[in-house]
Amino acid sequence: MMTEEFEDMSYKEISYRDVPKSGSVIKSSDVSIIGIAKISIEEDSSDGVKIILKKDEHDNIKEIKFVCSCGETKSLMLDYAAE
């Protein structure tokens, strides 16, 4: 049975995609904060599946990740951009 309460945690979301690749170290001066991400975790104790919801600062769900106790992970990315 799934737990009824979500455990919300807020994190600063960073971008480092425009940084030239020069090894495995990223300097803090090359990173920019692009927003806040809220992470909610729900766990199904009978099936061993965790559902992780990543939301933006307006509580819009941006990613749904399913994590099996066996280690397999599936993700669903949501884009709200109007076309």
Each residue's pLDDT tens digit, 21-65? 777 777 778 788 888 888 888 877 677 888 988 888 888 888 999
3-state SS string over the chain? CECCCCEEEEEEEEECCCCCCCCCCCCHHHCEEEEEEEEEEEEECCCCEEEEEEECCCCCEEEEEEEECCCCEEEEECCCCCC
Is the whole model's pTM more than 0.75, yes or no?
no
* 39 within 8 A of 53, measured Cβ to Cβ: yes
Task: Give first-to-last CA distance, the chain, whole Å.
Answer: 39
